[in-house]
Amino acid sequence: MSQEALVAEIRGLRERLPGITDAAVAAVDGLLVAADTAAEVDPESLAALAAASLGLARRTATVSGRGPLRRTVTYCAGGYAVIYAVGDTALLTVLGDEGLDLGRLHLETGALIERLNDLLCGRAT
Amino acid sequence: MACALPAAVVAELTAQSRAGTTGTLSAVGDPGGLLRLDGGRVTGAESPGAPGVEALLLRSGRVLEASWVAAYQAGASHGRLALELVRRGLVGAAELEAVCLMALFDAAFAIAAGTVEECRWAPAAPTPASADAPTPGPTADWPPERSGSAGRGGREPWTWEVARVDVAELCGETERRLVALAELPTPVRPGRDRLSTAPAGAPSGSTAPGSTAPGAGSHGAGATSWSGTGAWGGSGLRAASGLRRDVLGLADGRRTARDIAFTLGRGVYPVTVEASRLLADGLLRIGGPSQEGGEVRALLAPRHAAPPAVPATGASSGGAHASAGSGPDAARSGAPAGGPFAGPVQLPRRPSRASGS
């Protein structure tokens, strides 16, 4: 039941915001939990790379003393790859094209991450 | 779908144009966007719903990424990116002007074809000489990330030196596009309707693997493959070529016309019109993916769904996080053992925060 809710959440994100092409939820060890990706994107690889990036970014944040990590954004010529931590054990990664409004994405994902965390920890109603 | 820019936007634009002001009109909505005015004339329009000049030039392959970056480095800090692009021979002056104008009208079309909830006018930031003047209201709550790194707010004002149109012309062009689209038998909503190829039974029915149109290139490789022979075989439709073929190759049930426009580096208006025609011809349909490739997948059970024995043991070392970390391993190897001793033996195998902080 909560698995369907998880899928509905990430699909809903793509439908709400123009410019999101793919999204996936993975554990911090890189194991894929749920994916909403186009056929060209391999969700397993995406999850593994996102986990690696998040780990690096967290360490970088700690070592550089800039406070807790908020998110990781990879800027590409044709869009963005954004990674958010979901609690301590999972992550949300979002791919978007050039039209994606990052400001709006960050606003939208705030509450979404809370809900994903609740779902993953089995706290959802 | 409305057949003109929303009245509030037109009213604000007209008022600011009469006053000859400089600033930014932001239309909040889906997809919403920005309209830039300089001295009462429109110098740029940007929207998440339409590819900007950069996307049009780069995604289409007209300008190479490396050349663009070099021109950007050389010109952007002095506001001379357009000059650099032309000086380096990357695009012709007239071509650049045409692309800038097209992007401007295209963004206005995207804003008008969606919904606008609110319309805010922000006067241009004060020049450095008068920088100590208080910032006017609307810019104060402007999220810095949005205007800075969002790729839209901060990166394209350089087009002001290339494209410049009157408000009346912008409204007229937008209306012309919306009316032309609405007159088609099956108009597609550019940012809403997700397009997929028509199901089996329609003329494009049996698809042959690997027959993706060459024009769709790399981005079409994994998408729904579309068989050329099928498409014009049954019903005497004209051979698909150019944009038509590209749109068919990219319609995978996930993409809207807007998404296809971004992928191709083409304007959202021509893509929307082509998609509407394909819909009328029965080659496209609106809605769900026609193949499993585009489906949403939930591949692993959520961590808390492990057998009851595991959370019980995890409780000794602190609740959800511990059981979440050891879930899959425990679930896999814990099942045969099953007994009351299974849990504690497995607990030390993976520290829950090993790859985190």
Q: Do A28 and B223 touch (CB under 8 A)?
A: no
Q: How far apart are CA A93 and CA A74, in angstroms?
A: 11
- Residue of chain B whose alpha carbon sits nearest to that of A74: B149
| Residue carrying structure tokens 């998440």 | B48
Which of B24, B25, B43 is CA-nearest to residue B162? B43
pLDDT digits (tens, 9 = 90+) for A77-86: 889 999 999 9
Q: Which two tokens stand for residue B26?
A: 């932001």
> How high is the pLDDT of residue B9?
92
Q: Do B223 and A39 touch (CB under 8 A)?
A: yes
Residue B52, pLDDT above cutoff 70: yes
B279 and B251: one domain?
A: yes
B118 and B235: one domain?
A: no
Q: Is B62 helix (H, G, I), strand (E, B) or coil?
A: coil
Q: How far apart are CA A67 and CA B335, in angstroms?
A: 41
DSSP-derived secondary structure for B93-109: HHHHHHHHHHHHHHHHH
The full set of domain ranges for chain A reads 2-120
Q: Do B355 and A104 touch (CB under 8 A)?
A: no
Give chain A's largest Cα–Cα span. Answer: 41
Q: B332 vs B60, which has greater pLDDT?
A: B60
Residue B310, pLDDT above cutoff 70: no
B155 and B61: one domain?
A: yes
B130 assigned to some structural domain: no
- The pLDDT-based confidence of B109 (bands split at 50, 70, 90) is very high
Q: Which two tokens stand for residue A75?
A: 């800027």
Residue B157, pLDDT above cutoff 80: no
- Residue of chain A whose alpha carbon sits nearest to that of B64: A77
Q: How far apart are CA B151 and CA B162, in angstroms?
A: 19
User: What's the mean per-residue pLDDT of chain A?
Assistant: 92
ipTM score for this prediction: 0.90
pLDDT digits (tens, 9 = 90+) for B63-104: 999 999 999 999 888 878 999 999 999 999 999 999 999 999
B210 assigned to some structural domain: yes
Mean pLDDT of all residues in B9-25? 92
CB count within 10 Å of CB A45 equals 11
How many folded domains does chain B comprise? Answer: 2
Mean pLDDT of all residues in A97-106? 93
- The pLDDT-based confidence of B145 (bands split at 50, 70, 90) is very low
Q: Which two tokens stand for residue B48?
A: 């998440």
Which of B98, B269, B258, B104 is CA-nearest to residue B170? B104
Q: A53 vs A8, which has greater pLDDT?
A: A53
Q: Do A106 and B145 touch (CB under 8 A)?
A: yes
Q: B108 vs B307, which has greater pLDDT?
A: B108
Q: Which two tokens stand for residue B224?
A: 């729904």
pLDDT digits (tens, 9 = 90+) for B187-226: 999 998 999 988 755 554 334 443 444 444 444 333 334 4
B160 and B238: one domain?
A: no
B324 assigned to some structural domain: no
Q: How far apart are CA B149 and CA A87, in angstroms?
A: 26
Query: What are residue B287's phi and psi, to 5 degrees?
Result: 125, -165
> How high is the pLDDT of residue B291?
42
pLDDT digits (tens, 9 = 90+) for B241-261: 789 999 999 998 889 999 999
Direct distance between the N- and C-terminal alpha carbons of chain B, in angstroms, rounded to an integer: 49
B158 and B229: one domain?
A: no
DSSP-derived secondary structure for A81-124: EEEEEETTTEEEEEEE-TT--HHHHHHHHHHHHHHHHHHHTT--
Selecting from B31, B58, B300 the residue whose C-beta is nearest the C-beta of A18 gives B31
B325 assigned to some structural domain: no
Q: Write down the CATH superfamily of domain A2-120.
A: Dynein light chain 2a, cytoplasmic (3.30.450.30)
B171 and B211: one domain?
A: no
Burial of B81 (C-beta count, 10 Å sphere; 0-12/13-18/19+): buried
Q: Do A21 and B55 touch (CB under 8 A)?
A: no
Residue B117, pLDDT above cutoff 60: yes
- The pLDDT-based confidence of B351 (bands split at 50, 70, 90) is low
B33 and B174: one domain?
A: yes
> How high is the pLDDT of residue B250?
92
The share of chain B scoring above pLDDT 90, in percent, equals: 46
Across chain A, how many H-helices and E-strands are there?
3, 5
Residue B106, pLDDT above cutoff 70: yes
B120 and B264: one domain?
A: no
B111 and B66: one domain?
A: yes
Residue B131, pLDDT above cutoff 60: no
Q: Which two tokens stand for residue B15?
A: 């008022």
Domain that holds residue B155: 7-124+151-183
> How high is the pLDDT of residue A125?
59
Q: Which of A42, A62, A97 to mutate to test the interface with B (most CBs of B within 10 A)?
A: A97
B172 and B210: one domain?
A: no
Q: Do B299 and A32 touch (CB under 8 A)?
A: yes
B66 assigned to some structural domain: yes
B332 assigned to some structural domain: no
B177 and B71: one domain?
A: yes
Q: Are B324 and B352 in contact (CB under 8 A)?
A: yes
Mean pLDDT of all residues in B270-282? 94
Query: What are residue B206's phi and psi, to 5 degrees?
Result: -70, 115
Q: B290 vs A14, which has greater pLDDT?
A: A14
To the nearest whole angstrom, how far is the Cα of A112 from the nearest Cα of chain B? Answer: 17
